[in-house]
Amino acid sequence: MSDAMLYALAGAMLAGCGTYGLLTAGGALGRILGFNILGGGVFLIFGAVARRGAGAGLAADPVPQALVITGIVVAFCATALAVALLLRLKAADGAGEEEP
Amino acid sequence: MSLVFDALAGLLVAGAALAAVTAAAPRAAVIAFMGYGVLLGLAWARLAAPDVALTEIAIGSGISGIVLLRAAAGLPAVPPAANRALAAAISVAVALGLAALVLALPEPAPSRAADAAAALPATGLGNPVTGVLLAFRALDTLLEKIVLLLALVGVWALARDPLWRGRPEPLFAGAAPAPSAFLARVLVPIGVLVGAYLLWAGADAPGGAFQSGATLAAMGLLALMAGLAPLPRADDRRLRLVLLAGPFGLLAAGFLGWATAGAFLAFPPGFEKPVIKIVEIAITASIALTLILVVLGPPAGEERP
Amino acid sequence: MSLLLDAVTLLLVSAGVLFFAAGTLGLLRLPDPLTRIHALTKADNVGLALIVLGLLPQAGSVMAGVKMIAVWALAQIASGAVSQVLAEAATLEAQIEATAREKRP
Amino acid sequence: MADLLFAAGALVLLICGAGLAALWRGEGDIDRMLAFQLLGSGAIAVLLLIAPAMSEPALLDAALLTALLAALAACAYRAALGGRTPPAPDAPERQP
């Protein structure tokens, strides 16, 4: 069992947690968090793959790392857009949450 | 011993994630999510990916907190909607399936590390991740910049018609109280210094445009929170110029590559590093400003002249 | 010499971890949010200071040592200011709750 | 030495985890923010400990960033409460 494997398994657990949040959340914010955690788990598995690809004097494969960095920033922007939609919805119907 | 540490860190990340998805109150869930971001940063540090760790810390525990805490304010606690036992079964199946896939990863692991290391000296950079982002896969970075702009257009599109040129809702309703203002006054200069350092160091050490942009965005938001700077207007021309500097700077460098090096997004031989650095500065400014604006949300109020 | 330095590291880092434990214990045992804030900031900073002091002999370069001290200094400033912010937030939340309780009956 | 540093890091993680788990069941979100701040300090300590253990000086930058942004979270929490300032608890009531 290597360190990369341990974190890949942690990533699998995160993906499970995220799925659970996505399926059970009563409100939109819970689903946003669940989706982010699901994505974080997938990124972490990707990171473990990068770590396994260490070689040529580099501690990890830089290509997946670069993709994860852009992924984190894009995921954040999507989250901010979703939150803006949520707040607009709240302002529009005053009730706070949409019906599930 | 390091494996014990890794196992513990992995379990803590999963525990924080579980707390975030099972918390009943929205604000408690968001606080757990912020803790999960810090722990995920540690995981990236252990995966020998300090560049990703810096990004995750700056975004996951920093500016995400501002957006999500703001969204959680005033939201009622909603009871879980679906059949929880079924959802748990599906989630465990997803986790076990991924775990099985992970354990079946091919040996030896496929890797582009050797290619990246071999091509890196041609760029004049010392950090392979920056090399991938700005030289070998610059097209991805260009498209990513455009996605960020689209997200901002999406946020701005939510403004009500008569207000769309104005300023967004303030982060603090009214003036910030003294302790928060003090915190901002102390942290913002230090943070701007750290952000500039990350950009400068990013050529040869972990760091770069994304980490620096996220840090600068966090500091900008802190300054706006404390009222140290006026909220930006959506129709400010200088603001739009900075927003476009990143994608169009990269695009210009791309066309320059056609003229000087014979391919789109190829950098002129001999001048790779200076051109990459200039483009990186433009990208950093655009990322920082875009992140600030998507966090602030749609324009909501017109200032009466 | 390096054995001696390692012993210093071990001693100071252990003491630092002990202070972290003490701070956590205070966080769990003290009765209300304001006292808990107090326990957290005090113990954390001493713990972090001891860990930084202990790690200084292990810093590979002068730059690394300076950075470690900078991290500690920043944590000092930030944690003092953060305790103020959270204390104010705690006071405000207690007020909001009291107002809500008055209105309820 | 690296093993000892990892052991110390694991211990700090364990302490923070225990604090987190216990505070999580507390009544208020202020307590949860305190748990988050504790985790932030713990993460700084862990990053400082594993930087020499992994011979990766860039983790010191990560520690610096963690210190900076943990404080930002407290400010964001306060901002989400709204702009009112509570009077100092011991200040005499101002007479009109």
Query: What is the pLDDT at residue B303?
Result: 54
- Give residue D29's pLDDT band: very low, low, confident or very high (50, 70, 90): confident
Condensed to tens digits (0 to 9), the pLDDT of residues B179-189 reads 888 888 888 99
Region of poorest pLDDT, from B31-35, B42-46, C38-42, D46-50: C38-42
Condensed to tens digits (0 to 9), the pLDDT of residues B210-261 reads 899 999 999 999 999 888 888 888 888 888 899 888 888 888 888 887 887 7
Query: What is the pLDDT at residue A94?
Result: 63
Residues of A39-78 as b/e, b for ≥16 C-beta within 10 angstroms?
A: bbbbbbbbbbbbbbbbbbebbbbbbbbbbbbbbbbbbbbb
Contact C27 D35 (CB under 8 A): yes
Are the C-beta atoms of A96 and B76 separated by less than 8 Å? yes
Query: What is the pLDDT at residue C105?
Result: 62
Query: Which residues of chain A lie closer than 8 angstroms to B52, CB-CB?
Result: 47, 65, 68-69, 72
Query: What is the pLDDT at residue B305?
Result: 39
| Higher pLDDT, residue B55 or C94 | B55
**SS3 letters across chain A:** CCHHHHHHHHHHHHHHHHHHHHHHCCCHHHHHHHHHHHHHHHHHHHHHHHHHCCECCECCCHHHHHHHHHHHHHHHHHHHHHHHHHHHHHHHHCCCCCCC
**Share of residues in chain B with pLDDT > 70 (%):** 97
| Higher pLDDT, residue B284 or B304 | B284
- Domain locations along chain B: 1-110, 112-305
Q: Which of D53, A55, D16 is nearest to B35 (CA)?
A: D16
Considering the domain boundaries, does residue D86 fall inside one? Answer: no
Condensed to tens digits (0 to 9), the pLDDT of residues B132-172 reads 877 777 888 888 889 999 999 999 998 887 777 788 888 77
Q: Is A12 exposed, middle or buried (0-12, 13-18, 19+ CB in 10 A)?
A: buried
Q: Which of A76, D16, D5 is nearest to B63 (CA)?
A: A76
The mean per-residue pLDDT over the stretch C58-65 comes to 85
**Residue B123: pLDDT over 90:** no
- Domain locations along chain A: 3-93
Condensed to tens digits (0 to 9), the pLDDT of residues A4-38 reads 889 999 999 999 999 999 988 878 899 999 999 99
**Residue B128: pLDDT over 50:** yes
Query: Which residues of chain C lie closer than 8 angstroms to D4, CB-CB?
Result: 10, 13
Could you say which residues from 166 to 225 on chain B have a Cβ atom under 8 Å away from some Cβ of chain D? 171-180, 183-184, 187, 190-191, 194, 197-198, 201, 205-207, 211, 215, 218, 221-222, 225
Considering the domain boundaries, does residue D93 fall inside one? Answer: no
Instruction: Please state the ipTM of this predicted complex.
Output: 0.91
d(CA C74, CA B187): 9
**Residue B95: pLDDT over 70:** yes
Query: What is the pLDDT at residue B153?
Result: 92
Query: What is the pLDDT at residue D85?
Result: 56
Residue B294 carries which DSSP code?
H
**Residue A39: pLDDT over 90:** yes
Q: Is B53 on the interface with D (CB under 8 A)?
A: yes
The mean per-residue pLDDT over the stretch B33-52 comes to 92
Considering the domain boundaries, does residue D39 fall inside one? Answer: yes
Q: Does domain A3-93 have CATH number 3.80.10?
A: no
**By residue range, what is the domain housing residue C59?**
2-103
Overall number of domains in chain C: 1
Averaged pLDDT score across all residues of chain A: 85
Query: What is the pLDDT at residue A98?
Result: 44
Are the C-beta atoms of B151 and B294 separated by less than 8 Å? yes
| Higher pLDDT, residue D56 or C42 | D56
Q: Is B248 exposed, middle or buried (0-12, 13-18, 19+ CB in 10 A)?
A: middle
- Nearest chain A residue to B207 by CA: give it: A69
Averaged pLDDT score across all residues of chain D: 82
d(CA B162, CA B93): 49
Q: Mutate which of B42, B52, B92 to test chain A, going by most A C-beta atoms within 10 A?
A: B52
| Higher pLDDT, residue B77 or B154 | B154
Overall number of domains in chain D: 1
